[in-house]
Structure formats: structure tokens, C-alpha cells
Structure 1
């Protein structure tokens, strides 16, 4: 997957001291929950500022009319609730924290989890 084209849905994590980058929450969940890799320091790109932030501080808009990356259901992250709310008003979707967004992403892997 082209990380530049899908930068707005990028995630990064550390595995054994080395950085790993993902085009989407879907691909991160594949390593985290399917492959059960011990990922640390997980971050996501804030759609508005295009800067990385800790996923535990992110507000994800899940299921908007914007195209998803690697899955039908889109997942976009924001550093603050107001930006997420504005995006959801324009494009639909529900606002979730990282754990909630992961639960939605895990549905793509029903047969392997």
C-alpha cells in the first residue's frame, strides 16, 4: 500500500525497538490482534494537522461516507473532539476512541480472531 497516498489514515508503532508504519487501522489491527505482535508506542495521523499523535488521545470517526483504507468502513483520526465532530457532521460516522475503533476493525478478521 502506498503510504503517501493514504497518509491521512497512517499509523505507526514500535516493534523490538524498530519503527513500523501502516497505511490504516485495518493493517495495524492485523499485526496487533491477528499476528499478535507486541507493538508499542502506537500513533496515528491527525487528519487536520497531518501530525502523528498517541492513539489513546485520538478521536476516531468510523463509518463516514469518506472512502476507507483497506476496508469498506472508513476510520479517520483527529486530535480533538471538535474536529472529529465537524468531520462527522459533514460526512457521517460515529466518534469512537482507539479501543472502539479497533473493535470495529477487528470485524474484518472474524474468521481469524
Structure 2
């Protein structure tokens, strides 16, 4: 799978915006997921039993940054190499964690009707 020129341009443009404030934007991204699909809170072990506002949860903040950085690195690899190289142990861990949390394919299809400007 490779990007078209237009897709590559969008990835580059998005990354330039995202890398300026990964902590804020990544947390905002996960906050929007929880606004759109409140039941998703139960899929995060560190949110499941918490009454704390998700945006104030330090574990969510750390998770959000980690996911954003990994996603951005993957996008760069895909653009530069035409493939994403991730260690098998990382993929197995991610798969196991998502299966244990009850994540199903439709959960990845949460569509957002906003652009990067609305993340701010």
C-alpha cells in the first residue's frame, strides 16, 4: 500500500500541526472519542473504575501521547518506505490488550466530523 501524492501531503501537513502540541492534541483526540462513544471508557483499564474527569487522568494523558507518537511514526514510515515496520512483540501486545478489552472492528470505525483545527 502506498500513499498518493495528495495523501502524502495531508500526512506531512497533519504531522506538522500535531507535533507542535502532541500532549494537548492527543488528549483532545481521546476526549472526543469518549464524547462520541461514552461506553468506550470501559475499554480503558485506567478509566473503567475512575470517577475522575478523563482529561484529568494522568494515565490517559500518557496513553494518548504514546498512541499519537506511534501513529505518527507509522505514518512517516509508510510515506518514506511504503510499509510500517513494528516489532512482532509490540503487535502481539497491542492485539492481546485490545482483545482483552473487548475491542471489535466497529470500534475502530468511529468517524470524526472535525478537522485538526477543531482539536485545538
**TM-score, with normalisation over the residues of structure 1?**
0.25
**TM-score, with normalisation over the residues of structure 2?**
0.24
- Greater relative contact order, per chain length (Cα 8 Å cut-off, separation 6+): 2
Structure showing the higher helix proportion among its residues = 2
Structure showing the higher strand proportion among its residues = 1
Between Structure 1 and Structure 2, whose CA radius of gyration is higher?
2
